[in-house]
A and B are shown apart, each in its own frame.
Chain A
């Protein structure tokens, strides 16, 4: 009887929470988007418009001059090249080393390997500022200041914890029987890794590639410390450098900022199609 009463007379009470949450999230989203919108707006305004203080207004006409100026600037080309020379090798190296370590931790455990794994992963929580001065001295002693090498090496090292963590956890989901089947077919551990474990871990690799690429590309701290000449600057320092050459550089800076974020966007769009689950489906009963 009680059930019947409920069905016959549905009590619809206004629940305010979804609306509150929606509004809160909307406000937060706006707050986050505002700087990007500001940069976008200033990048298509003339210096004169900006100088008049019309930072948030929609410009009366689109002005592409900032982009043309930035793209024609040979220093900017240099910044891009330097950033790529840092980001690509450091991304590849950190993922490669993380995969190797992760494979061992997941499939070839040894005495004390779990403890070692924890030690490596705890590196993620290490504040880099603490080792800034020792590292500077180290690379100074090696005569590597004002080269790109220290940045590549540091980003590789700092990427290892997250790469190892993610790859170990992903490899752990690859059934052991697959490794054993491959070994019976004549594969060595390297072949198990490259032909079975890694192809099944494309989602993890894609996530890591995106994460590492973005993080390293956008880094400001390490290039600032280890490079001095404009020849060796990376793009994030370059954006700031442009300031020095023009009295008011909001326009070109905005344009360069947007151009500088394109590669990470491209990387994300390229890899996101691998962000799919269920690669191991069908390996074992299921």
Chain B
């Protein structure tokens, strides 16, 4: 069993605290995706798990064994780099078999296992080629081959697909999903790509400034973000944030008020009056009839994306345009006035500190 646990893991580079006291338990066979803005410490955390970077503080356990001070190769981890990191002077087969050669595995055995891996990844015809003779996707497949041949307990991926073009990225994403189902291993995957994170992850870890903001299944992070940061980070296009205030309404029920709009907070618990931020996703705003509309917005720009469209609305209560997601080809033009309704169950309220209300 290869569960992975991090206890208070920190890393500082001089005065920079890149990873700050991360506690995380990952179950055997789980696929965990690390996301966060650039420089938040994703790669550093991954490299500490791999052993390429030592931890400044904390402990790392793999399969119950404390590996904090164990050499990288002895941790039972394999890593796939964003840059592939294939050895240019070796053929694909030699790249894949490199670790086994170092371990002095007999030649016939190496050949057999390389062939096996090549079959899994469908790269048999490429085995004799050098990296420079391979396309980006093929190189990444060879790099994955090199990582799976030694049967590691934990796979680490650092943005493995970000050097590929969009179409190839989708194909490789599917392939990694298949790999995840076929290999009985724990995987930690760093990405910038929302779709990759949402589609691949059993659980997503959102990092910011070296700290974990929230951990949970993709739907949970989407539906119930723990704070404003996670709410803004998960989901594309990003959530709309609107300055609002809580006021005691008639009948004592608190209301959230922004501009001319007043909505029941709909929260079971008491919400104290005061300034808040209202967060609502573009897909939770609808064009409504005049009667049902909460507010009106003037269309500034319409982006038609094919399967859906985005409209950016100017309103009298928000400096930023409010984004709204619409069906395929709406007959909208800049300057149109739209009546908009907020989905009652789907908006979020955040304190000034960013925590969810």
Binding site for B on A (CB under 8 A): 175, 177-178, 180-187, 191, 196, 199-200, 279-285
Nearest B-chain residue to A281, judged by Cβ: B132
> Of B131, B133, B146, B163, which one neighbours A185 at CB under 8 angstroms?
B146
> Of A184, A186, A199, A284, which one neighbours B79 at CB under 8 angstroms?
A184
B interface residues, tally (CB under 8 Å): 30
Interface hit among B28-36, B55-63, B82-90, B246-254: B82-90
> Of A181, A185, A187, which one neighbours B81 at CB under 8 angstroms?
A181
- Least CB distance from A113 to B in Å reads 17
> Of A180, A182, A184, A281, which one neighbours B88 at CB under 8 angstroms?
A281
The 4 closest A-B CB pairs, nearest first, are: A282-B132, A185-B99, A284-B83, A282-B131
> Of A180, A186, A281, A282, which one neighbours B102 at CB under 8 angstroms?
A186
- Least CB distance from A199 to B in Å reads 5
Per the bound structure, the CA–CA distance linking A54 and B124 in Å amounts to 71
List of A residues within 8 angstroms of B73 by Cβ: 183-187
Binding site for A on B (CB under 8 A): 50-52, 72-73, 77-79, 81, 83-89, 98-99, 102-103, 130-134, 136, 139, 146, 150, 163
> Of A178, A186, A281, which one neighbours B85 at CB under 8 angstroms?
A178
- Least CB distance from B110 to A in Å reads 13
Nearest A-chain residue to B132, judged by Cβ: A282
Per the bound structure, the CA–CA distance linking A282 and B130 in Å amounts to 8
B50 and A284 within 8 A (CB): no
A284 and B84 within 8 A (CB): yes
- Least CB distance from A193 to B in Å reads 13
A184 and B89 within 8 A (CB): no
List of A residues within 8 angstroms of B83 by Cβ: 175, 177, 283-285
List of A residues within 8 angstroms of B79 by Cβ: 180-181, 184
List of B residues within 8 angstroms of A191 by Cβ: 102
List of B residues within 8 angstroms of A199 by Cβ: 89
Per the bound structure, the CA–CA distance linking A184 and B139 in Å amounts to 18
> Of A178, A180, A281, A285, which one neighbours B87 at CB under 8 angstroms?
A178
- Least CB distance from A8 to B in Å reads 46
29 contacts between A and B (CB under 8 A): A175-B83, A177-B85, A178-B85, A178-B87, A180-B79, A180-B81, A181-B81, A181-B146, A182-B87, A183-B72, A184-B51, A184-B72, A184-B77, A185-B99, A186-B73, A186-B99, A187-B73, A187-B102, A196-B87, A199-B89, A200-B88, A279-B89, A282-B130, A282-B131, A282-B132, A282-B134, A283-B83, A283-B87, A285-B84
